[in-house]
Chains A and B, each alone.
Chain A
């Protein structure tokens, strides 16, 4: 094992330039992949908190069977809690919220607001697709005039976010494949530059494993170093962004966090795998 590692280190030192290029490519790939991971982890958290705050407002027609209607809605799947807000309460609430614009209400003769139900959902139903279904079910009830879930715009954001997500996945896959092919190329170049040496090794009784194992070690090494560097660069950029952006904005609105230990490990394992797999492809037919 010691001899094997020695041979791998000697090999790396003898082909520094090729290995640096290969590690650089893996570093860039892992940097981009981890950047997307960081983005998705944080935006997912934001979307999740937004989704969890969603309530459905169901505005009622002038129907006096409040209790009966409440029961009908409560029977629908996904509804957790219903609060009746009378038109009078709604107006008071509005006035409270718009204290500074109180003059707006002075000329109002009658209350224009309808009675409404504020509907909260069970956690399982707090998914924009399920909210959509529930909202249209409520809207179809005869005593409902209109349904609104204030965060309707979230759905649009979620769609854009999903588009980003899939583009991100695509870019990650492209970079992952690129880094594998750079490793393949590096290993093949080194292999061919040492063809005569490897031929001699075979003639003195070296097995395929004896010849190939140092290449696998160097592949894993490339992946490991590339992974560490990629994450390190992202961490430095993350710290730079954090120190330059308004902290209140970050803490109140986004609450950004860096990758967890588990995510580091996954990224570094992916990086090591790309090094190993590149090596495997390069040496498969040799």
Chain B
């Protein structure tokens, strides 16, 4: 097998000439990236560089203006709306603002991911407990998000992102509002999931985080790739 073909086969995300415009302003311009399975990737750059937009395009919270993105063999620029939920089940997302449902307990927030996939209650209970043990939040299973600290909320968000055994984790500024010790714990969690075979893509502007970790770095500035 040629090296080029092998890379294509191994690639879980491929972007071709991706553009995203808001009005006449480019948030992303001519982005071409290929990310392999089980890669650990940082997308970095200053505020407004287009990091979050790039992730949002991947999990279809925003639409492409031009170009194509292929995730795990699915061209998301042509995906049928009814197939989007099934693609999202292959993805775990960690948001900067956690995006936990405030009216639901920790258990309910995490179990939601398994419920949408149609798992049985007995499996859901077992799996949620197990993942909360992994992130060290088992004792808070019945707590509501507002009763948790920022770090705890982020750990719940991580647990929710990984509970469905996703193939890819997108983390948008996962440590943005956390202190260094908590940020380190979150990064260790992400690395542990990476070690189990998950592709992890982190958007961050925190150089300390990048410098103290391994992984590929893609730098953006004004919507363009300046270093890959």
Known: A3-B121, A201-B112, A201-B116. A207 touches B85 (CB 8 A): yes
Say yes or no: is B79 at the interface (Cβ < 8 Å to chain A). Answer: no
Cβ B115 vs Cβ A203 within 8 A: no
Known: A204-B116, A207-B116. A2 touches B121 (CB 8 A): yes
Say yes or no: is A210 at the interface (Cβ < 8 Å to chain B). Answer: yes
* Chain A residues, CB < 8 A from B85: 202, 205-207, 210
* Chain B residues, CB < 8 A from A205: 85-86, 88-89, 113, 116-117, 164
Known: A2-B121, A3-B121, A14-B103. A203 touches B88 (CB 8 A): yes
Cβ B115 vs Cβ A3 within 8 A: yes
Distance in angstroms between the alpha carbons of A200 and B85 in the assembled complex: 12
Cβ B101 vs Cβ A203 within 8 A: no
Say yes or no: is B51 at the interface (Cβ < 8 Å to chain A). Answer: no
* Chain A residues, CB < 8 A from B116: 201, 204-207, 210
Say yes or no: is A48 at the interface (Cβ < 8 Å to chain B). Answer: no
Cβ B99 vs Cβ A200 within 8 A: yes
Number of B residues contacting the other chain (C-beta, 8 Å)? 21
A2, A3, A203, A206: the one within 8 Å of B61 (CB): A203
* Chain B residues, CB < 8 A from A200: 99-101
Say yes or no: is A197 at the interface (Cβ < 8 Å to chain B). Answer: yes
A125 to chain B minimum Cβ distance, whole angstroms, is 61
* Chain B residues, CB < 8 A from A197: 101, 103-104
Interface string of A205-226 (1 = CB under 8 A from B): 1111010000000000000000
Say yes or no: is B82 at the interface (Cβ < 8 Å to chain A). Answer: yes
Known: A2-B121, A3-B121. A204 touches B103 (CB 8 A): no
Distance in angstroms between the alpha carbons of A197 and B104 in the assembled complex: 10
Distance in angstroms between the alpha carbons of A203 and B93 in the assembled complex: 8
Cβ B121 vs Cβ A204 within 8 A: no
A3, A201, A202, A207: the one within 8 Å of B82 (CB): A207
Say yes or no: is B107 at the interface (Cβ < 8 Å to chain A). Answer: no
For chain A, residues 196 to 253, give those with C-beta under 8 angstroms from any C-beta of chain B: 197, 200-208, 210
A143 to chain B minimum Cβ distance, whole angstroms, is 81
Distance in angstroms between the alpha carbons of A197 and B89 in the assembled complex: 17
B156 to chain A minimum Cβ distance, whole angstroms, is 13
A73 to chain B minimum Cβ distance, whole angstroms, is 73
B214 to chain A minimum Cβ distance, whole angstroms, is 28
* Chain B residues, CB < 8 A from A3: 115, 121
B103 to chain A minimum Cβ distance, whole angstroms, is 6
Smallest Cβ-Cβ distance to B90: which chain A residue:
A205
Cβ B82 vs Cβ A204 within 8 A: no
Say yes or no: is B40 at the interface (Cβ < 8 Å to chain A). Answer: no
Interface string of B148-181 (1 = CB under 8 A from A): 0000000000001000100000000000000000
Known: A3-B115, A14-B103, A197-B101. A203 touches B59 (CB 8 A): yes
* Chain A residues, CB < 8 A from B82: 207-208
Cβ A204 vs Cβ B113 within 8 A: yes
B160 to chain A minimum Cβ distance, whole angstroms, is 7
Distance in angstroms between the alpha carbons of A236 and B82 in the assembled complex: 49
Interface string of B111-130 (1 = CB under 8 A from A): 01101110001000000000
The listed residue with most B CB atoms (<10 A of its CB), out of A3, A208, A210, is A3
The listed residue with most A CB atoms (<10 A of its CB), out of B82, B85, B86, is B85
* Chain A residues, CB < 8 A from B100: 200
Interface, chain A (partner B; CB < 8 A): 2-3, 14, 197, 200-208, 210
Q: Provide a sorted-by-A list of 14 A–B residue pairs whose CB atoms are within 8 angstroms.
A: A2-B121, A3-B121, A197-B103, A197-B104, A201-B112, A203-B88, A204-B112, A204-B113, A205-B85, A205-B86, A206-B85, A207-B116, A208-B82, A210-B116
Kindly list 17 other residue pairs between chains A and B, CB separation below 8 angstroms, not including A202-B88, A205-B88: A2-B121, A3-B115, A14-B103, A197-B101, A197-B104, A200-B100, A200-B101, A203-B61, A203-B99, A204-B88, A204-B93, A204-B160, A206-B112, A206-B116, A207-B85, A208-B82, A210-B85
